[in-house]
Homo-oligomer: A and B are copies of this chain.
Amino acid sequence: MAEEQDKFCEYLSGVNPVWCPGCGYYGILSALVEAFAELRLPTEQLALVSGIGCSSRLPYFVKAYGFHSIHGRALPIAQGVKTANPELTVVAVGGDGDGLAIGGGHFPHVARNNVDMTYIMFNNAIYGMTKGQFSPTTELFASTKTSPFGLTGEALNPCALAIVYGASFVARGFSVKKEHLKDLIEQAIRHPGFSFVEILTSCSSFNTLDMNVARILHAMDYVPDGHDVSDPIAALKLAGHDEKIHLGVLRKSPRPTLQEKFTEIQEKARRGKSATVASLARQFA
């Protein structure tokens, strides 16, 4: 126990989280570092990349190489990190606004390129950092600061998006179900290729309705045992919220990672011969 605690602490930077009391993110942070500890990942091999938002502050609190970047750009940055150094364990974290609003254009492409990394989206259905405007996943809490008379759009479903984008691992967790969440994160990191984990979590300051703990505890269910993760249509069905909100691994579709593709490309390009800059210059002679 004490040893577990120690292992856990090894992954904390010592910087105290700035989150509000009661914020669901505390639970996520601890599930995350426990997963790191379980996987015995060397801290120096861990690259945590985030955008901007309360959730994106997470890297400061973890002992790892951390990149707190700009709003919505965690994914392309993470893709660059992994491309440059495939040895690293790359994890991108961020909010629903960061990932589905301003950063929503990058998600399909990093997924379809199967960058071998894990993307963890903290879905609190609100913009926490900017104090309570609706996000693309806001559904129940209709009268946010920028929608005082109701929302205009239907909410997006992050897991359904990830599936259609071709993410090769898609799972949904809940900040309150810490053990389950830890396990999902471990699986996601272990999975070779692009892994997506949506975490339902409540913003205690600005939206306690959408991801209300009691409500979700009531509405949730685990992915049924017989679910075929290789079937995208089955995964899409489970991803929907219609009856129950399903927690667990929804989809797996293993295929070559971006890194493997790069290796293949380099081999094809070389055709067994080695090249130098001087040899390349010869085409201009």
Instruction: Tell whether A264 pairs with B150 under 8 Å between CB atoms, given A101-B109, A165-B156.
Output: yes
Q: How far is the CA of A108 from the CA of B108 in the complex (A)?
A: 11
Q: With the chains together, A101 CA to B76 CA distance in Å?
A: 13
A104 interfacial by beta-carbon distance below 8 Å: yes
What's the Cα separation between A153 and B107 when bound, in Å?
13
C-alpha spacing A105/B114, complex, angstroms: 19
A275 to B113 alpha-carbon distance, docked (Å): 53
A237: Cβ under 8 A from any B Cβ: yes
Q: A154-B166, A233-B237 are in contact. Are A108 and B104 (CB under 8 A)?
A: yes
CB–CB B100/A153 < 8 A: no
How many interface residues does A have (CB within 8 Å)? 38
- Tell me the bound Cα distance from A268 to B112 in angstroms: 43
Residues of B within 8 A of A237 (CB): 233
Knowing A108-B136, A136-B108, A136-B109 touch, does A114 contact B153 (C-beta < 8 A)? yes
Asked if B156 contacts A112 (CB within 8 A), the reply is: yes
A148-162 toward B: CB 8 Å interface, digit per residue (1/0)?
Answer: 111011111100110
Contact A160/B156 with A108-B100, A149-B265, A150-B268 known, Cβ cut-off 8 Å: no
A269: interface (CB < 8 Å): yes
Nearest residue, chain B, Cβ from A151: B261
Contacts of A103 in B (CB 8 A): 105
**Do the beta carbons of A258 and B112 come within 8 Å of each other?**
no
Q: Is A222 an interface residue (CB 8 A)?
A: no
Task: Kindly list chain B residues whose C-beta atoms are within 8 Å of the C-beta of A113.
Answer: 152-153
A150: B residues at CB distance < 8 A: 261, 264-265, 268
Which one, B101, B154, B166, B236, contacts A236 given CB within 8 A?
A: B236
- A164 proximity list for chain B (CB < 8 A): 157, 160-161, 164, 236
- The interface residues of chain B lying within 8 Å CB-to-CB of A165 are 156
**Other A-B pairs beyond A108-B156, A112-B156, A114-B154, 18, CB < 8 Å:** A102-B105, A104-B104, A104-B108, A104-B109, A109-B136, A109-B153, A113-B153, A114-B153, A149-B268, A149-B269, A150-B268, A152-B261, A152-B262, A156-B165, A156-B166, A161-B164, A164-B164, A233-B236
